[in-house]
Chains A and B, each alone.
Chain A
Amino acid sequence: MTAITVDRLHKTYLVPEREGGLRAAVGALVRRRRREVHAVTDVGFTIEPGEVVGFLGPNGAGKTTTLKMLSGLLHPTSGTATVLGHVPWERDRRYLGQMALIMGQRNQLQWDIPVLDSYKLNQAVFRIPDADFKARVEELSELLALEELLRKPVRNLSLGERMKCEIAGSLLHAPQVLFLDEPTIGLDVAMQRRIRSFVAEYNRRTGACVMLTSHYMADVEALCRRVIVIHHGRLLFDGALEELVHRFAGDKTINVELADEHPLDPAALGPLVDGHAVERSATGFSVRVPKAETPRVAARLLAGLPVSDLVIEEPPIESVIEQVFEATSAEVDGG
């Protein structure tokens, strides 16, 4: 059985259109003009239990909107979805009781009471038996190093500390589906890494299925073998991360190490690399060439130069993603 099935999901927000000035305000009283924002358009995918899927897209792509529908906060304009056999927006308590949505910018813990007291409240809400509660708090606080924090009121915690406590608090009921919306936003590199490895560990231990959005590619690379990319509310890509790179990366980088102190003649090098810009290093050079030409250029370099080592690299995922978004932006804007 699949954990999440989404089919032709649409969400259109109606936002009141406001022009400045008194006249417009008076006019708006009479007839409220609304503008449609197509936040999610015709999105579909399925996710298996235990999968960790990266949900990518630039700002405003519709990621949060999708996660809000899947967690039951929002009713879609049209389309269907089932998560763990439930229609999320029917908000059946049996569904809410085994799901968690964690948003990096939102607080679910009570501000003025100690973290542990908030957890106890969650214990009552989610009807967690005492033994399970105790064991899970212990386990989570060990994994996330919360020991010192549990007795402090939330308002006294730093952003990173609060995030750790938020995450642990949202997992006390052992959700089988986890929606993480930018869980590492604003955190330092060490804390990001800690949260990443924690999510991986949680997934490994519980077999929960995880959907994660992040603008930090390190999160995605570390956690998700599969990514779903949306842009302007539409699905762009759904598949393995390597496949995304393979499909969308236009260029590859050829790194060349030269034998001994071979004097490199830029004039001679030009034709060998089809005139692409060359970046010199201490012991060689690197050059970016279109993907289709890499074999030919590499062969020519090997034949024409005293090469000691030659490596062909995929570009960093960040730049691939950037390319994907730019390409489709142009497409959408142009058409």
Chain B
Amino acid sequence: MADVATRPVSGRPDFSKVSFGALRRYYVGEFGASTANNLAYRGAVAIWVVTTVIQPMVSIVVWRTVAGPAGEVNGFTSAEFVTYFAITMLVDHLTFIWLMWEFEWRIRTGAMSPLLLRPIHPIHKDVCDNLSYKVIGLVGVLPAMVLLVIGFGGDVSGIGVVQVLTFLPALVLAMAVRFLLEWVLALSAFWLTKVSALNNLYFSLFLFLSGSFAPLAVLPEAVRTLAHASPFPWIVSFPVEVALGRRTGAEVWVGYLAQLGWILVALVLLRVVWRRAVRVYSAVGS
């Protein structure tokens, strides 16, 4: 038997340097593991996707009624409401994360500990888990979006190649903004044993201020002002409106910059809060 482990390890890897090769290999592996996991529980994923699809249907029915067959609400016709909510569904699916519950569970059960013992930041695992879930969910959400538009007679006249191409960066940046913000927020679980109250507050705010509940244009002025002081419109409303062709030219660039700005803010917060979080971690469980 070869005494392999006895051999003095030929120079340990230098963990003080970021290795993109190693990180890429980790992402591939973790993405595969998450996907295997998601496929093992595909029933649960399917149910979740169905819920994602039902929500916009409700919104469409409600807002079509409000607008009436020929009328409009603040520049949105019935047919535009349909397209708005169909694309919102896609954006919501691709930006949605559930980390706040995940963190509460990890900390209450001690499942956080193994993640802290590895020489890699735990956020990478969450990125992989998230991407995997989103890719799998697309299988249901993409066709559902098309069916919604066709079934309810959505207006797609404003959507062309330019809109799609400008939409894609806005979407990716939106995913990053929401992921980072909620990752930081989820860290509150290190201090609070129950985060559900905070979560509910957050999600109510998010619903109204992001444009998920209704296009910001049809909401009262006060809500709009509040929304623009928050990062939320850049997560849903902005990419959706870019896709619809409602934001053009300089507005698009301002949007990208705002998204980048919020990403920067979230990254700084993440650094500071994460450092404190591991300090107060009490590592329950034997």
Contacts and interface: CB of A to CB of B under 8 A. Distances in A.
A117 B9 contact: no
A135 interface: yes
A136 B15 contact: no
Interface string B22-44: 10011011101100110010000
Contacts of A64: 286
A66 B244 CA distance: 58
A106 B113 contact: yes
B117 interface: yes
A126 interface: yes
Contact of B32 (A16, A99, A111, A117): A117
A101 interface: yes
Interface residues of A, number: 52
Main secondary structure of the interface of A (DSSP, over half): mixed
Interface stretch (A68-76, A186-194, A236-244): A68-76
A71 B13 contact: no
Nearest to B21: A127
A4 interface: no
B13 A73 contact: no
A121 B281 contact: no
Given A118-B33, A121-B26, A124-B25, A106 B118 contact: no
B25 to A, nearest CB: 4
A309 interface: no
Contacts of A174: 5, 9
Given A73-B281, A94-B16, A136 B40 contact: no
A297 B89 CA distance: 89
A286 to B, nearest CB: 39
A110 B37 contact: yes
Contacts, number: 123
Q: Classify chain B: how many residues form its interface, as a range.
A: 35 or more
Interface string A97-125: 11111010111101111000110110111
A139 B286 contact: no
Nearest to B120: A125
A132 B9 contact: yes
Given A74-B283, A112-B36, A205-B3, A125 B118 contact: yes
A91 interface: yes
A285 interface: no
Nearest to A114: B36
B254 interface: no
A267 B65 CA distance: 107
Nearest to A75: B279
Contacts of A125: 26, 118-120
A202 interface: yes
Contacts of A182: 286
Nearest to B282: A13
A96 interface: yes
Contacts of B120: 93, 125
B57 to A, nearest CB: 32
A93 B283 contact: no
5 tightest A-B CB contacts, nearest first: A93-B15, A127-B13, A93-B119, A124-B26, A135-B4
Interface of B: 1-6, 9-10, 12-16, 19, 22, 25-26, 28-30, 32-33, 36-37, 40, 110, 113-114, 116-120, 193, 278-283, 285-286
12 contacts: A13-B282, A73-B117, A74-B281, A75-B280, A93-B120, A94-B16, A113-B37, A117-B29, A126-B13, A127-B22, A174-B9, A207-B6
